[in-house]
Amino acid sequence: MKTMLTHAQIWSALDRLAARADLSPSGLAKRAGLDPTTFNKSKRITPDGRARWPSTESVAKSLSATGVTIDDFVSLITDSSGAAQAVPLIGFGEAGSGGYFDDGGFPVGKGWDEIAFPKVSDEHAYALEISGDSMLPAYRDGDVIVVSPAAPVRRGDRVVVKTKKGEVMVKELKRQTAKSVELKSLNADHPERVLPLDDVVWIARIVWASQ
């Protein structure tokens, strides 16, 4: 029986291609000289709900930009080994909105997109896409960070922190005591933060970032 190539297989292969190059889908598009939104989830479906396929030109430019052959790309399409897994993805700006996390910092609810990611072992891991330049030079607009809520957090780790007021921030854990959490900003233009431990809902470690 003949197997037809599916819309989902092609887009999953592009996600895997981006992950293999340590890029987000938007990062892959930028590297290929395309509009950064070319591979966004919103571009994969037409306004009337029909599947939209990536163009041959966009695929060819992506392969050229990452040094991947067409044979390698075909293997990404047909790969069923489980080397890549689907990780939930939302924009960092949305992370402070209600309904995306439970009280333990685990992703819940609807509204998440997905990104193929081959290096994470935590089944509860999720990804946040950075917007803006407030975290330079550590993270740039369009970078993706992968967060593991189950990973142990140590001094010096880059972390995502949520407060009881709903604020979500990315910082470096400078020090944690029985009463407070000291956080170093990644951007020198922003001050350090000292939060009462009672005001912190959860802290989760960043385990990977596209660069």
Does any domain span residue 50?
A: yes
Does any domain span residue 2?
A: no
pLDDT at 2 (0 to 100): 47
Whether 84 has a pLDDT exceeding 70, the answer reads no
Is residue 24 located within the same domain as residue 110? no
Mean pLDDT of all residues in 157-182 = 95
Say which CATH number the domain at 121 has: 2.10.109.10
Contact 195, 163 (CB under 8 A): yes
By residue range, what is the domain housing residue 11? 7-78
Percent of the chain with pLDDT over 70: 93
Q: Please identify, among 39, 55, 78, the residue that sits at the C-terminal boundary of a domain.
A: 78
CA 56/CA 161 separation, integer angstroms: 41
Does any domain span residue 1?
A: no
Whether 164 has a pLDDT exceeding 90, the answer reads yes
Beta bridge partners of 184: 172
Whether 80 has a pLDDT exceeding 80, the answer reads no
Q: Is the pTM of this model over 0.75?
A: no
Is residue 117 located within the same domain as residue 202? yes
Does any domain span residue 184?
A: yes
Compare 96 and 198 and report the one with higher pLDDT: 198
CA 143/CA 150 separation, integer angstroms: 22
Q: How many domains does the chain have?
A: 2
Whether 170 has a pLDDT exceeding 90, the answer reads yes
Is residue 92 located within the same domain as residue 175? yes
Is residue 64 located within the same domain as residue 132? no
